[in-house]
Structure 1
Amino acid sequence: MAERTGAPRVSCVFVCHDGRGRVLPARRGAGARDEPGTWDCGAGALEFGGTFEAAVAREMYEEYRATPLEIARPDVRNVLRGEPVVSHWVAVVSAVRVRPDRVRIGEPHKCDELGWFAPDALPSPLHSQCAATLALLPAAVRGRG
């Protein structure tokens, strides 16, 4: 977990989906920043002067070697971690439609498995922030619309 700082950072979180009700979590590997062995969505920090969409496309290619077909930004979360708070992120959460046959692990030191799952049949354990992120997605992405 990052050290406590005086200002929150912006994270562009993305949930890949196939447009047919399945989502793509990744299992965090031994080299992940936190919670290795848990399943999570993709994410990356917003760079100064960059757009949310550019950050998502960059991080998606780095992590999954795929390009987005469609990016929808459903919501924003305030993420406070630790007691006392040691990490504060503003998470801009996007739903990203991708071609399932184009996805592969791009950062094997951070991720050791990818899988397509129905949102009501996700693998476990989930990263501590994953369920709250998935809850923000539109019903159509979660397979209920």
Structure 2
Amino acid sequence: MTRKPDVSCVFVCHDGDGRILLARRSARARDEPGAWDCGAGALEFGETFEEAVTREVTEEYATPPQDITLLGVRNVLRPGSHWVAVVFSVRLDPAAARIGEPHKFDELAWFRPGELPTPLHSQLPHTLAMVTAA
């Protein structure tokens, strides 16, 4: 059997005024329940990156992106998985964002970068480093 990496579109949503949107992973989340994280989703066959981000943001936060900016790409190597993460900064209307997938998330909140909640998802610091480097 040949294993290949999967592709994920990771997005850090912001309000254009310095705050970022994080979601707390529910007890039914795939991994790290209770951890705060940005959004992400697998790229589907035939989708552009922007189409995937638009679909995933709308599914997760129940509102479409206002602006999408590519930040970069990183490898995510974890036991039993390998993802190529294409990372984006996405502007959202903060008044419109709400939980669109309650089976994955149980809380959404806006935070200033120096005032992040705990615990953070293990991959989030690596993603946020790409935001601050941009």
Q: Normalization by structure 2: what TM-score? A: 0.96
- Structure 1 distance, partners of 2:63, 2:4, is 32
Structure 2 letter corresponding to 1:47:
E
Q: How does 1:128-139 map to 2 (within 5 A)?
A: 128-138=122-132
What is the percentage of aligned positions where both structures have the same residue? 67
Deviations 1:21-64 (A, max 9, x none): 10001000011100000000100000111011100110111110
CA distance in 2, matches of 1:29, 1:14: 19
Determine the structure 2 residue equivalent to 1:126.
120
What's the offset of the Cα at 1:102? 0.5
RMSD of aligned Cα (Å): 1.4
Amino acid at match of 1:22: R
Whole-angstrom distance in 2 between the partners of 1:118 and 1:71: 20
Corresponding residue of 1:143: none
Q: Which residue of 2 aligns with 1:104?
A: 98
2:30 aligns with 33
- The answer (yes or no) to whether the contact 1:74–1:138 under 8 Å persists in 2 is no
Where does the alignment leave 5 or more consecutive residues of structure 2 unmatched?
none
Q: Which residue of 1 aligns with 2:8?
A: 11
In structure 1, stretches of 5+ residues that fail to align are: 141-145
Tell me the equivalent position of 2:109.
115
Task: Tell me the TM-score normalized by structure 1.
Answer: 0.89
The alpha-carbon deviation at position 110 of structure 1 amounts to 0.7
Deviating beyond 2 angstroms after TM superposition, the runs of 4 or more aligned structure 1 residues are none
More strand by share: 2
User: What's the CA shift for 1:138?
Assistant: 4.5
Equivalence for 2:82:
88
TM-aligned CA deviation for residue 18 of structure 1: 0.5
Matched, 1:73 2:70: yes
